[in-house]
Amino acid sequence: LTLAEGADSTATLNDLKHITDQLLVRNPSYRCTRCGFGARTHHWQCPSCKEWGTVKPLLNYAVV
């Protein structure tokens, strides 16, 4: 990605930052390894399948 110098470059970078911030907010940071429940915060007990200790942090983000 190459950008020219100037106001348009700053606007483009700000737009790109806004888009990536929105993607991170929408995507879960944790997922249950048993049922696939996704969450933004850690849960010791999965709210969906009620299993204990199955909600793990996602280490890789896949942007679709």
29-64 tens-digit pLDDT: 899 999 999 998 999 999 999 999 999 999 875 554
- Asked if the model's pLDDT at residue 3 lies above 60, the reply is no
Question: How much is the pLDDT for 12?
Answer: 86
End-to-end CA, the chain: 19
Dump the DSSP string for the chain.
Answer: ----SSHHHHHHHHHHHHHHHHHHHHS-SEEETTT--EESS--SB-TTT--BS-EEE--S----
pLDDT band for 5, please (50, 70, 90 cuts): low
Q: What is the pTM (predicted TM-score) of this model?
A: 0.56
CA dihedral 17, 58, 43, 48 (to 10 degrees): 100
